[in-house]
Amino acid sequence: MSNRASKTFVGGVEVEVPKSIPDIRAALPEEERREDFDRAINSTGAHDIHAVMRHWMLEAGPEPKADALLERLVADEAATRGFA
């Protein structure tokens, strides 16, 4: 089995998403979400694990629209403060 990230499309943009339990957990932004992830994984049976993993893979993956907005805000702030 390969440890490389999986790819999917989010908002029409191809993005890489983590595919192992440790990588998904590490990519989640908040401790609370990590606790939710741990509960979901630990309470999932063998028949449902693929669906649960896919849900969390996508949640942990990048969000192109949010990333683009953040980049724009950083650029705007840099321009305002004269760092551009």
Asked if residue 1 belongs to a domain, the reply is: no
Asked if residue 23 belongs to a domain, the reply is: yes
Q: How many domains is the chain built from? A: 1
Kindly report whether the global pTM for this prediction surpasses the value 0.75.
no
For the chain, the straight-line distance linking the first and the last C-alpha, in angstroms and rounded, comes to: 44
Q: What's the whole-number mean pLDDT along residues 12-33?
A: 81
Residue 49 is part of which domain span? 6-81
| DSSP label of 29 | S
Confidence of residue 46 (pLDDT cuts 50, 70, 90): very high
| DSSP label of 11 | T
Asked if residue 30 belongs to a domain, the reply is: yes
Q: What is the distance between the alpha carbons of residues 55 and 72, in angstroms, rounded to a whole number?
A: 28
Give the contacts of 19 (CB within 8 A, at least 6 positions apart).
Answer: 3, 4, 5, 6, 53, 57
